[in-house]
Amino acid sequence: MTTTSNVPAYGRFGGFGGRYVPEALIPALEQLEEVWRKAVVDPEFVGELERLQRTYTGRPSIITEVPRFAENCGGARVILKREDLNHTGSHKINNVLGQALLTKRMGKTRVIAETGAGQHGVATATAAALLGLECVVYMGRKDTERQALNVARMRLLGATVVPVDNGSKTLKDAVNEAFRDWVANVATTHYVLGTVTGPHPFPEMVRDFHRVIGVEARQQVLDLVGRLPDAVLACVGGGSNAIGIFHRFIDDRSVRLIGFEAGGEGVASGKHAARFSAGMPGVLHGAFTYVMQDVDGQTVESHSVSAGLDYPSVGPEHAHLLESGRAEYRPVTDEEAMEAFSLLSRTEGILPAIESAHALAGAMKVGRELGPDAVLLVNLSGRGDKDVHTAAAWFGLIDDEGGTVLPATTATTGGDSRSGSSDSSDNSDNSDNSDNSAGAKGMGVQQ
């Protein structure tokens, strides 16, 4: 079903990975690995997963070439892999359906999950509803506030959402709480870990459930342009959408694999989640990988405008791809990501998740470096509906109380309230020169 040629040692990617968890969880991890390895060669399991992907998720997801956006990418051809069009609005459903089916196979009746942006939590709640499983989602208190819509979605789907008040009150602490629940309830409960980190076999298993992204996209790009892309780009939080689209291309040595981490307010500011720029190898959440940590090995709190990238560690296979030189990782700031968010929305009519906007900002840089002959494949890992509140606040469209901020001229310009906003004729120009230092970050409200 998949190649494991880049896994030289048991549960390891190069020197990274492993199983750094309490002994109490080892039998569950052994059971999970055994059930998973049997399932992926069982036609019944494979057939059921493929059926759900086709009739429930909506796979294969399409690709979309975005020429108007690409005008801001040095003229390179930019092709988006539309994971945002999956049911539940992101790539997360690929992994969750696989793990939910495994949960049934293990005879367990309850699933737990951590979530940052809420996309994995929503996907898990969805799969639990579909398959009749009890579902509890742990979410940092800070994330429940900035992703309130997704909290409501999970509850509407029948899940219990538990806000986590420990530590930084974000994704890292939600993972800690999920592990604590799992240790206590492992006999009946499967932990649907949402990304490609954690103890073996999670990084390998979650990758394999997402590998379909790159398998589809590689053929789709070949069909569209007649050759492989020059680079494949993705945002990297834990790294599941990135590894999902990268993996099929690993043996295509001509294809650059580029991951974009949350640079937050800039790596120099210390307020970021750029593990590969400012972290070092260590252990967090069961895996030996890159970790943002202080001199005493204490985890350092991360920062990002994007809840889904706000995580101080990263999947161990990415650490291996970095150290082996096969992939490169760069930081993208909040500001750059929000500019790309705005640009894709206005030039292509696609609202991206703020996470995915980091990859789009990366495409703007890489396209300018490679020039007009380049073909870039970008994983649009999620849609931006969940981020409307964050983006509206960022661009000054709503005030602190959530009320609408309208242009002062609206009532006096003969009803054409759009006259002040940029139109299509000057859009790309306007975007290239947008003033990122402005407090309100101007999105269609300035004259």
Partner 1 sequence: MSVAPILEACRAEGRAALIGYLPVGFPSVEGSIEAMKVLVDNGVDIVEIGVPYSDPVMDGPVIQDAAVRALEAGVHLGDIFSAARAVSEAGAGALVMTYWNPVLRYGVDRFAADLAAAGGAGLITPDLIPDEAHDWTAAADANDLDKVFLVAPSSTPERLTKVTAACRGFVYATAVMGVTGARASVGEAAADLVSRTRAATDLPVCVGVGVSTGDQAAEVGRYADGVIVGSALVRCLTEAPTPQEGLAALGALARELADGVRRGRA
- Spot the catalytic one: 81, 90, 108, 114: 114
Among 41, 44, 223, 298, binds partner 1 (CB under 8 A): 298
Among 28, 97, 151, 213, binds partner 1 (CB under 8 A): 28
Site string for partner 1, 359-398 (x = CB under 8 A): ----------------------------------------
Q: Which two three-digit tokens encode residue 393? A: 């606040």
Contact 192, 175 (CB under 8 A): no
Question: Which parts of 255-410 fold into alpha helices (H)?
Answer: 275-278, 316-323, 334-348, 354-370, 388-394
- Spot the catalytic one: 90, 168, 304, 381: 381
Q: How many whole angstroms separate alpha carbon 81 and alpha carbon 260?
A: 16
Among 47, 67, 132, 297, binds partner 1 (CB under 8 A): 297
Q: Report in angstroms how near the CB of residue 150 gets to partner 1 at its nearest.
A: 24
Neighbour tally for 351: CB within 10 Å: 20
Q: What 8-state DSSP symbol labels residue 62?
A: P
Cβ-count burial of 389 within 10 angstroms (0-12 exposed, 13-18 middle, 19+ buried)? middle
Among 226, 295, 415, 424, binds partner 1 (CB under 8 A): 295
Q: Report in angstroms how near the CB of residue 210 gets to partner 1 at its nearest.
A: 25
Site string for partner 1, 173-212 (x = CB under 8 A): x--x--xx--xxxxx-------------------------
Q: Report in angstroms how near the CB of residue 116 gets to partner 1 at its nearest.
A: 15
416 scored as a contact of partner 1 (CB under 8 A) = no
Interface positions, 115-174, toward partner 1 (CB under 8 A): 166-167, 172-173
Helix pair angle (92-105, 43-52), 10° resolution: 140
Neighbour tally for 32: CB within 10 Å: 24
Counting residues that bind partner 1 (by CB under 8 A) gives 35
- Catalytic, 61? Answer no
Q: How many residues does the chain have?
A: 447
- Catalytic, 114? Answer yes
Among 9, 26, 222, 268, binds partner 1 (CB under 8 A): 26
Smallest CA-to-CA distance from 37 within 11, 14, 62 is with: 11
Torsions phi, psi for 315 (to 5 deg):
-55, 140
Among 125, 291, 370, 374, binds partner 1 (CB under 8 A): 291
Q: Which stretch binds partner 1 (CB under 8 A): 105-113, 128-136, 223-231, 286-294?
A: 286-294
Cβ-count burial of 427 within 10 angstroms (0-12 exposed, 13-18 middle, 19+ buried)? middle
218 scored as a contact of partner 1 (CB under 8 A) = no
Whole-number Cα distances in Å, 325 to 15, 39, 274 = 14, 33, 18
**104: CB partners within 8 A, 6+ apart:** 131, 133
- Spot the catalytic one: 71, 81, 90, 92: 92
- Catalytic, 381? Answer yes
293 scored as a contact of partner 1 (CB under 8 A) = yes
Task: Kindly tell me which of 112 and 359 has the beta carbon lying closer to partner 1.
Answer: 112
Residue with tokens 């791809």: 321
Residues that are catalytic = 92, 114, 381
Binding residues vs partner 1 (CB under 8 A):
18-28, 166-167, 172-173, 176, 179-180, 183-187, 282-286, 291, 293, 295-299
